[in-house]
Structure 1
Amino acid sequence: MPPSLRHRFGHRIRELRLATGMNQEEFADRCGFARTYMSRIETGGANPSLDAIQTLADGLKIDLASLFKEI
Structure 2
Amino acid sequence: MPEPTTPRLAELRRQFGARLRDLRQGHGLSQEQLGEMAEVDRKTINRIENGMYSPHLDKVFQIADALSVPPRDLFEWDGASSRT
Measure the CA separation in 2 of the matches of 1:65 and 1:25.
23
Question: Is residue 17 of structure 2 the alignment partner of residue 10 of structure 1?
Answer: yes
- How far off its partner does 1:66 sit? 2.1
Higher Cα Rg: structure 1 or 2? 2
Q: Deviations over 1:24-45 (max 9, x none)?
A: 1101111111111110011010
Question: Is residue 46 of structure 2 the alignment partner of residue 39 of structure 1?
Answer: yes
Residue of structure 2 equivalent to 1:28: 35
**Structure 1: stretches of 5+ with no match in the other structure:** none
User: Stretches of 4+ moved more than 6 A in 1?
Assistant: none
Q: Give the aligned length.
A: 71
Q: Deviations over 1:5-64 (max 9, x none)?
A: 111000000000000001111011111111111100110100100111111111110112
Q: TM-score normalised to the size of structure 2?
A: 0.77
Identity of aligned residues (%): 34
Bigger helix fraction: 1
CA RMSD of aligned residues (A): 1.5
- How far off its partner does 1:65 sit? 2.2
Residue of structure 1 equivalent to 2:4: none
Higher relative contact order (CA 8 A, sep 6+): 1
Q: TM-score normalised to the size of structure 1?
A: 0.89
